[in-house]
Homo-oligomer: A and B are copies of this chain.
């Protein structure tokens, strides 16, 4: 963990080093992934089953690739009721927020007499990748699936590896609650290939979302263009801006909630009180003694954690913008005023009783957010990812006669004669009355 003081002469250099790339160099898997995708495209189910046998020690046939409704129901019946209730609270709140997010169509007639607009329509089919084993988070199923269904996507196919055939009941319960329409016990690059190109059993989708390992990420990169994909998530981060009125232990827990995700996660406290900063770092050490994921959290905090002392919140806002964090907590007296000064953050959590973990589960807004400073130009997952716009222009002869000549002039200047003629020949017809 680093301590930085904005008044120190070496601050700029120390701060810049915090912005450094935390991407781990992942093994190059482009060639094996390309081979898997080509095989799945050429041989369909046969290839998918062969790879599943090899990678997941699971013998499938086209008939058993799909997890049946009965299996989902049975698995979900083993989930304790309080967890199902919690899942339902989360799902309902996520649905409500994303429904509020739905954009309106637009249509207007302008002074030249043209009717212009844009119309939103949902994608027909979406594929959701869910990692197997420990990385399978039911909350992630809700966050990826619900915006698609709220957007109006009819087909929502999910692929989840089940190494050795073991199903994850809470993940299946989340998929059921979120409205996933079909689930396949297939993972890895072969799952991405099946969803992108289709097989005899899996119909192709238009967009693939959801987190995955390096093979899945590379497969998504390679099928991009053929289908849409979501952004490839990097290591995650939180910036907590907190004054000395806060309980240091709560701030420490918020920092550790980020750090426990991943050794590459980054947790940064920005405060205007150096003594409070010390209290928080002491509290972090205390919590690390008992935290179940202490090994991961300790590595993250040691390598990438930071406490930054600032003169005032104005300075804090400027530093936040340079960090452009995925998550931003504002635990100060007037969080709205400070939020208004910040430009770049994936999601903000305002107030002393709004830890980031609320947003991971039950807040409502999406927890799939731009990582690694990409909040400078990117946004979290939303209904927009499952909608596309068609713009439209409607013109009659009067409107065309008002704007057509400018179009002819520009088309001619660009040397596109048929473009120019397609307008000018209509103008002639209009002029002839």
- Residues of A at the B interface (CB closer than 8 Å) are 82-83, 85-87, 89-90, 93, 96-97, 100-101, 103, 106, 108, 110, 112, 114-116, 118, 121, 123-124, 134, 137-139, 170, 206-207, 225, 227-228, 232, 234, 247, 249-250, 253-254, 256-257, 259-261, 287, 291-293, 297, 335-336, 339, 342-351, 353-366, 370, 372, 374-380, 382, 384, 388-397, 399-400, 403-407, 409-411, 413-423, 425-426, 429-430
- Assess the A353–B121 pair: CB atoms within 8 A: no
A348: contacting residue among B249, B391, B409, CB under 8 A: B391
Given A89-B406, A422-B257, A358–B124 Cβ distance below 8 Å? no
Chain B residues, CB < 8 A from A227: 377
Q: Chain B residues near A399: list those with CB within 8 A.
A: 353
A299 to B51, CA, bound (A): 43
Q: Which residue of B lies closest to A429 (CB)?
A: B247
CA distance A344 to B206 in the complex (A): 12
Q: Is the CB of B377 within 8 A of A420?
A: no
Contact A351–B134 (Cβ < 8 Å):
no
Beyond known contacts A342-B390, A351-B396: 18 more, CB 8 A cutoff: A82-B409, A85-B406, A89-B403, A123-B376, A225-B232, A228-B374, A228-B377, A253-B418, A261-B416, A345-B390, A350-B394, A350-B395, A353-B400, A354-B400, A358-B393, A361-B410, A363-B403, A365-B393
Partner of A418, one of B82, B260, B394: B260
Cross-chain contact B350 with A250 (CB below 8 angstroms): no
A114–B89 alpha-carbon span in the complex (Å): 14
List the B side residues contacting A410 at CB < 8 Å.
83, 86-87, 90, 138-139, 361-362
Asked if B390 and A134 sit within 8 Å, CB to CB, the answer is no
Q: Is the CB of A378 within 8 A of B388?
A: yes
Residues of chain B within 8 A (CB-CB) of A83 are: 409-410, 413
Note all chain B residues with C-beta closer than 8 A to A85. Answer: 406, 409
Judging by beta carbons under 8 Å apart, are A97 and B116 in contact? yes
Q: Which residues of B contact A409 (CB under 8 A)?
A: 82-83, 85-86
Interface centre among A121, A342, A351, A413 (most CB of B within 10 A): A413
User: 10 tightest A-B contacts by CB?
Assistant: A365-B391, A89-B406, A86-B409, A350-B394, A228-B377, A86-B406, A354-B395, A256-B418, A355-B422, A357-B419
With A391-B366, A392-B347, A393-B359 known to touch, is A426 a contact of B250 (CB < 8 Å)? yes
Task: Across the interface, name the chain B residue whose C-beta is closest to A339.
Answer: B392
5 residue pairs from A and B, CB less than 8 Å apart: A121-B343, A123-B376, A124-B343, A228-B374, A260-B417
Across-interface contacts of A380 in B (CB, < 8 A): 389, 391
CB distance from A408 to the nearest CB of B (A): 8
Contact, CB under 8 Å: B353 / A414? no
Q: Are B357 and A405 in contact (CB under 8 A)?
A: no
In angstroms, Cα B249 to Cα A422, docked, is 9
Q: Is the CB of B406 within 8 A of A90?
A: yes
Q: A377 — which chain B residues lie within 8 A by C-beta?
A: 123, 206-207, 227-228, 388
Alpha-carbon separation in the docked complex, A344 to B207 (Å): 14
The CA-CA distance from A134 to B207 in the complex, in Å, is 35
Q: Are B418 and A257 in contact (CB under 8 A)?
A: yes
Q: Which residues of B contact A414 (CB under 8 A)?
A: 137-139
